[in-house]
Structure 1
Amino acid sequence: MSGKVVLYYFNGRGKMESIRWLLTVAEVEFDEVFLTTRDQYLKLLSDGALMFQQVPMVEIDGMKLIQTKAILNYIAEKYNLHGKDIKDRVMINMYSEGLMDLMEMIMMLPFTPDVKPKLENIQTKAKERYLPVFEKVLTGPIYLVGGKLSCADVQLLECTLMLEEKFPGILAGFPNVKSFQGRMTQIPAIGRFLQPGSKRKPQPDDHYVKPVMEVFNITLPLP
């Protein structure tokens, strides 16, 4: 695995999935080390690899990076997916932060005892707060910022696919977003990532939740 990017996380989506997406679009090969036991996590802690005792952790360019946003920004900068100047970057970051807020609500569902009210809240916020923003900005442009593919575009695709898994037809009232989604899936690297057998992870289930609970020594459902 020498020289190759290595991802340390669970064998599931979570916060690492956006990193997998961005590396895929940048056409960067990566290996994965899946955490399945608490001892693995404690070993990373004792080695000093986890600055804030958290994963995701990514080995890249001789560094051990943590904090999802920092990792995404590094990859975006390195592979020219972060705009042409500081004004582009701040717009990209605003879009990305909003998308991450929405995706994190979905990420928490597997750890939620009563998902029905959570689902209703997510659907409402997606339709009233988040999707209208992207529907408006995509009225003319092919991409969100500067006429050029960026990490925000990749996250928007990831987010809309997650939403459609939970709420089929949710994009019916957002034709510009749906057209954008169709354009993005025509990118060869993305097309390959969407095929069975890729490193894209499926929707989380008990096989994902159980190791997370065990590694972090969580015995009760999260609130």
Structure 2
Amino acid sequence: MAGKPKLHYANGRGRMESIRWLLAAAGVEFEEVFLETKEDFEKLRSDGDLLFQQVPMVEIDGMKIVQTRAILSYIAAKHNLYGKDLNEKTLIDMYVEGTTELMGMIISLMFHTPEGKAKQSAMIIDRATTRYFPAYEKVLKDHGHVFLVGNQFTWADVQLLEAILMTEELKSDVLSKFPLLQAFKTRISNIPTIKKFLQPGSQRKPPPDDEFVAKLRKIFNI
């Protein structure tokens, strides 16, 4: 029997967090190997474990997979969270790309100055409420289903919830004009595996603080 997936990254959110979310949503226990120093990172590189010389990297089913999207796609497909046919898979890809864009902007905030962070945060909220959340609200309204795709729980639902919660950390009432997304947030948050991941003490990581950013800069020579 294969062991637990092993996640190699720093002890914080970044690009690994969506992978943690998806594994948790699938009910898969995983181990984490945290990069604490630049030497830890360089050892992965010198050992030939990082095809493109970057993390995240996940050891799973005898493979060492890099590139966040490839890792997520593999997990989603393995655990039946990737739709039942090509059309559904394409919709999931499309919705995931939208949330990836939004979360990418939020992740980048940690490297801004306080002044730059305030300006960027305002832009993110504007994009979220005029571009991204209206699109997902429309999807839910048009098909009238519980989930985004195929009326079944998929990767797209997991990542939309993650994006909503990240955006709410910037503005708590960001969903005030999106009643269907409010209901969606409640539904998905109460799926047992998700509910467990949202509890204190899980492997979900907190928003990045100055100490984490400083550690990232040292590890990755940013």
Residue 111 of structure 1 is matched in structure 2 by 111
Residue 137 of structure 1 corresponds to 139
1:13 is matched with which residue? 13
Contact 1:16 1:56 in 2 (8 A): yes
Alpha-carbon distance between aligned partners in 1 of 2:179 and 2:73, rounded to the nearest angstrom: 29
- The amino acid of 1:184's aligned partner reads I
Opposite residue 59 of structure 2, the aligned amino acid is: E
**Counterpart amino acid of 1:135?**
E
Gaps of 5+ in 1: 219-223
Q: How many residues align?
A: 217
Separation in 1 of the partners of 2:135 and 2:52?
A: 33
Whole-Å separation in 1 of the counterparts to 2:94 and 2:6: 28
Is the Cα contact below 8 Å between 1:21 and 1:154 reproduced in 2?
yes
Q: Please tell me whether the aligned partners of residues 99 and 159 of structure 1 are also in contact (alpha carbons under 8 angstroms).
A: yes
**Structure 1 CA distance for aligned equivalents of residues 72 and 9 of structure 2:** 15
- Name 2:159's counterpart in structure 1: 155
For 1:198 and 1:112, locate their aligned partners in 2 and report how far apart those are by CA, in whole Å: 28
Shift of residue 111, structure 1, vs aligned partner: 0.6
Number of the residue aligned with 2:215: 211
**Could you say which residue in structure 2 is the equivalent of 1:178?**
182
Does the CA-based 8 Å contact 1:57-1:64 persist in structure 2? yes
* Counterpart-to-counterpart distance in 2, 1:174 and 1:52: 40
Deviation at 1:207, TM superposition (A): 2.5
Q: Helix, strand or coil: the match of 2:129?
A: helix
Preserved contact between residue 35 and residue 211 of structure 1 (Cα < 8 Å): no
CA distance in 1, matches of 2:211, 2:7: 19
1:210 deviation in Å? 1.5
How many angstroms does 1:211 deviate by? 1.6
How many angstroms apart in 1 are the aligned matches of 2:31 and 2:196?
17
Instruction: Give the corresponding residue for 1:82.
Output: 82
Distance 2:4 2:193 in 1: 18
One-letter amino acid matched to 1:173 = K
Aligned-partner residue type, residue 168 of structure 1: S
Matched residue of 1:202: which SS? coil
Are residue 192 (structure 1) and residue 196 (structure 2) matched?
A: yes
- Partners of 1:151 and 1:210 lie apart in 2 by 32
Structure 1 moving runs of 4+ over 3 Å: none
In the alignment, residue 78 of structure 1 is paired with which amino acid? K
Gaps of 5+ in 2: none
Match of 1:123 among 106, 122, 125: 125
Secondary structure of the structure 1 residue equivalent to 2:175: helix
Q: Please name the residue that 1:221 is paired with.
A: none
- Provide the rounded CA distance (Å) in 2 between the counterparts of 1:146 and 1:58: 29
Q: By how many angstroms is 1:54 displaced?
A: 0.8
Scaled by the length of structure 2, the TM-score of the pair is 0.96
The AA in structure 1 aligned to 2:44 is L
The Cα offsets for residues 82-111 of structure 1, whole Å up to 9 and x where unpaired, read as: 000011000000000110000000001111
Identity %, equivalent residues: 54
Deviation at 1:116, TM superposition (A): 1.2
What secondary structure does 2:146 align onto? Answer: coil
Q: By how many angstroms is 1:120 displaced?
A: 1.0
Q: CA RMSD in A?
A: 0.8
